[in-house]
Every structure is written in structure tokens, then in C-alpha cells.
Structure 1
Amino acid sequence: MMPKVELPIPTFQQVARMAPELNSWTSMAARAYGMYSGINEAIKMTRGKNALAKERANEIRQEMIMMTLIRLFAVMDRQSEVSLQSAYRFLNQPTALAEVVQWYSSGQDPTVDAPATCSAALDKFLSVYRQVDFKGFGRIQSFRNGQIAHIAWPDAEKAKVTYSEVETMVRACCEMAGQLTLMTSGLNDWPDEHLNEAHHDAYEFWHAAISADAEGRLEDSKEAIP
């Protein structure tokens, strides 16, 4: 067995620079998964209604789950210099909190309790990271390594990747990216809000479209299927 390679620990400045990108990538994963779950619910709620719109919805649903996986690969890639795993290597150091607090205090209103705010955010990030099922993510990762050029959900299922694992990983990344953003910018920018919004919008649109199509009203509807 090859020895595990020790990866470099980034500086706080490097972590601060990667935080906006990680938040953006995680938000993309959240929106994609939200669309998947919203369409999935719409299809379930229109069970028994035969409509071509449902076939189109199913195609987009599969595309969204695969887009979610691809974006998860990016934010959780252990080998990448810009990833939540890279950020963890810095935040897991004993001196990390002091560095974060020092920076946070310099850019915030002096009335803000920087040590408490940063300590809570750091603890939450580390707690969520340590609860990640890396065995499950390993199945996703190994699937990615061999299938990225021709990615399709049936192949992911063969690798024993489940929808539940994907959702758990997405929500964990959302929490970590949000806490990292708070620590490095003082901003409240939570990717899971994009997930919830995308779920709501996708459900409303596709439930209406499938119902209208099944009832022969789609051509007269102002809603257009993308």
C-alpha cells in the first residue's frame, strides 16, 4: 500500500482568497440539487398523470443530479489547493482561531464579539467536516475518476452512490462554505438558501407544467418548458 501523501497546509490568506470561490461552487451544487429535488417532488405529486412534460422533467432531473456531483467533486477534492478539505487543513491547526479572530476583528465593528463569533463558526465547520461520510464520498470520488468523461446516473448507481448520500454531502458543504465565508469576510452568505429556493421554484414550475400538459392545457399556458 502506498503511503498517504501529506498535503500542504494553506495560510490564512490563501484560505481567505479561496472562500468566495468555494462559496460560489457550493451554491452552484446547491442550486443543482435543489432543482433535482424540486423536480423529483413534482413528478411524485403528479403520479398517475401521463404527460410528455414529465419525460422532459425526468431528463432535466437526471442532468441536475449529475451537475451536483460534478460540483461536489470540485469543492471536496482533496488534491486541489482550492477545496473545503484544503481549508480544513488550515482550520484544524491549534493557531487557526487566533489568526481568524485577528483578521475578523480588524474589519468589523468593535462592538462585535469577534472571538465568540469566530469560535462558533470554526467549531461548526470542524464539526460538520468530521461528520462527513468519507467512505461514501470515496464511492463518488472513485466513480468520478473513471467516469467523468461520460458521466451518467446509472453508472453512479453501479458505484453504489445514493441520492441520500448526495444530499447529505451537499448540505454539509453548504454549511461549511457558509461558515468559512463568515469567518473570512464577516458576511452571511449561506448556499443552502439557494438549494431551498431552487427546490421551491422547480417544484412550482414542473408541477404546473406536468398538470397542464396532462390536462391538455399546456399549449395555452404562458409557462414554457425549457
Structure 2
Amino acid sequence: MMVSDCMMMYPEATGAYLCEAFTRHIDRDGVSTILELGSRNGMDALALADYYDANVYAFECRPDAISECEFNTRDDPRISVIGKAVWNEDSQIEFYPVVNGNDGASSCFIANSDYPYERYEQEFITVDAIRLDRWLANCGVEVDMVCMDLQGAECAAMLGMGDYLSDVKYVISEVQKNPLYKDTPLMGDLESLLAGHQLYFKEYVPVNDWFGDALFVSVFYEE
């Protein structure tokens, strides 16, 4: 299936993971298992499953979004929804759902009021969080690609993946050039962490001057 076909089928998907700037660097036949971290409504999980004909494990921790993901993906057996946050420890963590519009901006962190493009009103809840390495050990999944939209929790999620991260071929992640949230890592921090697992920066697609999406590719799967 072509990217354009996927986006026509799932117009509510962001499409960030399937932009041509990224897909041209990825061996499509080499991707059979994907972790989608921060699934929101499950639509990007559907698009990823169709484009790569892959199994997608979609993680989402916002309670109303978990239900939406499960409903939207209910007819695709390739997609499994896991209602947990991904973090660097198994615990309960603070979470701040956005309640004034852009629920995809919900985060484990408090929004930075200096961000000029949106103003986020956040509530406070606690959610269950897990380390991915323990989850992977339990279910025996071998991961080819990680797709992340975690609003500042990217480094915590990757630290929680432990040594399994070294076996990943591709990482696509939303990244911050300037902090959209208080005390969150920026793109350079994620780049350094991934480089320690032989995953190196390949491409960046800006959304605005504060943040965008980046592709990192394992040195073992370079073109």
C-alpha cells in the first residue's frame, strides 16, 4: 500500500511517521514489528500496520484515549493496544491531560507557558507506567521500529527499553528544539541517548520553530 492510500483511509492520522522524508530511508520489507508509543486515537497505528503490513503494539495512557484506540483498531488483528505509559521504571506517574482542545498535547510534564502557538489547560491524574524491557522480555517481541509521540517522555521511554534498544532498526520521534514542557529533554538529549545504542540521526522534519519529527537509523541498517 502507498503512503497516500494509507492517509486517504485514515485521514485522522497525523501521518508524521509516514512522510516521504522518512520512508525513503527505511527498508519497508525489514519492518514487521512496530512499537507506537503515544497512540492517541489509534489512527497512526492503523496507517503503520497497513503501510508496513506489520504488527503494531500501540501504547497509550490517557484513559479516554485508551478506549478510543481500542475502538478504532478493534477490527485489525495486527494491532494490540496497551493501556500504559512507558517510562524508566514500573510505577505510577503524574500525567497532565490537555482539556482545552489539543488532547494530543497531553503529557507527563507541565506545559511551558512561553510556547507561542498554543495555550494548554491541563488537569492532573496519575497513570500506570512500565519499563519496556520488562514488557518485551515477558511477551518475546522483537522490535524493528519505534514510533514515538510522547510530549517530552522520549528519553525516559528509551531508557526503559534497556538493551533491547540496540536491536531496533529505526526510531521516529517527535522532538523538541525548544521546551514545550517544563524540564523535558530536547532533541540533542535524545540524539545522544540513541547514539549510545548505534542509532544515529538521519532526517528532521519541522512542525514549527519549536519542535518537529526526527528519524534515527541503526548503523547496521544504513542505506
Structure that is richer in strand per residue: 2
Max Rg structure: 1
Structure that is richer in helix per residue: 1
TM-score (norm 1): 0.23
